Every structure is written in structure tokens, then in C-alpha cells.
Amino acid sequence: MTVQVRIPTILRKHTDGAKQVEGSGETLADLFSDLDGRHPGLRGGLVTDDGDLHRFVNVYVNDEDVRFLGAISTPLADGDVVTILPAVAGGAAAGAMCAVAGGAAAGAMCAVAGGAAAGAMCAVAGG
Amino acid sequence: MGLAPSGPGAAFAGNLVDMLRLARALRDEMVAHARADHPDEACGLVAGVDGEATRVIRMTNIARSPTFYEMDPGEQLHVFREMDDRDEELFVIYHSHTATEAYPSRTDISIAGYPDAHYVLVSTRQPDVEEFRSFRIVDGVVTEEPVEVV
């Protein structure tokens, strides 16, 4: 089975500039592990150390946000198209948000990824 | 001003014009959106064609917060697809700060995921003063760029 994966600009450094790559896996988690074998570093831009999707990465399977499917465990089928988009988010928030932002800003999606940090952001986003 | 030194992101610099040029109507539309959503932060996009800004797209801030914004992910995908279909490019990502200056916060910088976009900040902290500034955010490095309204 083969899945097409659309890669955003900021992650193309892991795909030799390719906008789209192919992979396979029963679930999104499997797919990202499969891709990381050929595109080292890609998975780290998408998945936290705890194995969850980064808070500020949007992943869609056939245009459906995986938050409404099975998140990182979303099942995949042959011919599916996976689209990855960095979330467009930010804001003037202080306190918890600054702690989050204080990390290595370079990784963008990666920097925000840290487990506890994501929770803090959610709290603010929900308020 | 020469090409912005962007550290590790300098590879992008060759593709960038180091200023934001746009029609007054587009700038006014962004400011009007920011004022309308005050005291919550507003967010949106400007599409462009051949390096020229063409239209403002108001986006939903699902955080509905005075200190945070997040574009609705479903709406984001829909609008990106629409821009693709129309051969438009993502030109500007804008949002407002409602109590602080029009400069990227640490949160803005850490989440910024579009190195090719102009990041516009509008501050609505003063009702009678317009604060409208534009930046590049590449690999965590913020570079302000001049705004030319035509």
C-alpha cells in the first residue's frame, strides 16, 4: 500500500526539497516511522517524544483533520493523501506561553512540541 | 536596506524581496479586521499573484482570545487549496496584538512555520493610532522589513 504525503516548505529540508513523498503504514504513526527511514528528521518535526502529534502541526488525511479521526493512530488505506500544514498560530500571550516560546525557537514546530508546553498552550487557546 | 541576514535561513533570502508592498485598501482591510475583533486577536492571510498582494482573507481565530490566536485548521486547509486552485501564493500572515506593540512575541516566533511569508502585526492597543509592521520570521530570527503602501 502506498500513501502520498504533502510536505510543507519548513520540513522540506528533510526531504531534499521534495513537496511530496510516498510512504506506507497501517496508521499515521506507522507512516511517520516509515518515512523517517528515508527522510531522517521528518518524524521529529511531527511527533513528540511521547509519540503524540505536535500541538502546532495540522495533519489531514484526505482533507479531514486527524484530530477528528484517530489523531496519531488514524488508520490509513492505499491511495490516501496525507497533508501536513504548520498551524498558523501565535499571539501576545505572556506567562505560560513565554515559557513555551523560550525554547530553541529554530525548530518552529519542534520547539513548541514539548509535552507539558503543549498543555499550557491548549489552556490558553481555550480561554 | 540590503537582503536580510537571516542566519541559517539565509538560503531563503534569494527568493525574498525585503519589503512589503501593498495597496492601501489591503492594509486598511487588515486594520479594520483587527479593530473589529478587538479586544480579541484577529488573524488572516493575504493572497498574492506574481509577487503582488491581491486580496485579504479574514480567518477565524478559534482561540477567541485577547492574547492568542490560532487559525481554524479546517478553514486553513480549505483556503490554502482555494489559493492553489487560483494560482495564488501565501503572501502575508497577519494577526493583531491588542494590548502590546506590533512586534512578534516569543510565542509568535516559536510557532512561525512559514519562512516564505510576510508576517504582519497590527496593534490595536490605541484606538486612534495605527500600528502596522511587517517581518520575516525564519529559523527563529525576526527581521523587520519596510512597508510601502501604494
Considering the domain architecture, whether residues A5 and A52 belong to the same structural domain is answered as: yes
| Chain B interface test: which of A88, A98, A112 (most B C-beta within 10 Å) | A88
Give me the residue from B109, B110, B113 closest to A10, CB to CB: B113
Domain containing residue A116:
88-127
pLDDT at A98 over 80: no
For chain B, the straight-line distance linking the first and the last C-alpha, in angstroms and rounded, comes to 19
Considering the domain architecture, whether residues A2 and A58 belong to the same structural domain is answered as: yes
Considering the domain architecture, whether residues A13 and A32 belong to the same structural domain is answered as: yes
Kindly determine whether residue B97 and residue A91, on different chains, have CB atoms separated by under 8 Å: yes
Considering the domain architecture, whether residues A82 and A124 belong to the same structural domain is answered as: no
Summary mean pLDDT of chain A: 80
Considering the domain architecture, whether residues A44 and A106 belong to the same structural domain is answered as: no
Considering the domain architecture, whether residues A71 and A51 belong to the same structural domain is answered as: yes
User: Distance between CA B98 and CA B93 in Å, rounded?
Assistant: 17
pLDDT at A108 over 50: no
Instruction: Name the domain count of chain A.
Output: 2
Strand ranges inside chain B, DSSP E: 20-22, 43-49, 52-59, 69-70, 89-97, 118-123, 131-138, 141-145, 147-149
What is the mean predicted confidence (pLDDT) over A23-44? 96
Least confident of A32-46, A82-96, A97-111: A97-111
Instruction: Give the per-residue pLDDT at A94.
Output: 58
Considering the domain architecture, whether residues A80 and A45 belong to the same structural domain is answered as: yes
Percentage of the residues of chain B whose pLDDT score is greater than 70? 89
Provide, as residue numbers in chain A, all residues whose Cβ is less than 8 Å from the Cβ of B65: 91, 93, 124-125, 127
Report the CATH number at residue A57: 3.10.20.30
Give me the residue from A67, A85, A112 closest to B111, CB to CB: A112
- ipTM, interface predicted TM-score of the complex: 0.87
Considering the domain architecture, whether residues A63 and A51 belong to the same structural domain is answered as: yes
Instruction: Give the per-residue pLDDT at B144.
Output: 97
Instruction: Give the per-residue pLDDT at A117.
Output: 34
Instruction: Give the per-residue pLDDT at A93.
Output: 77
pLDDT at B118 over 90: yes
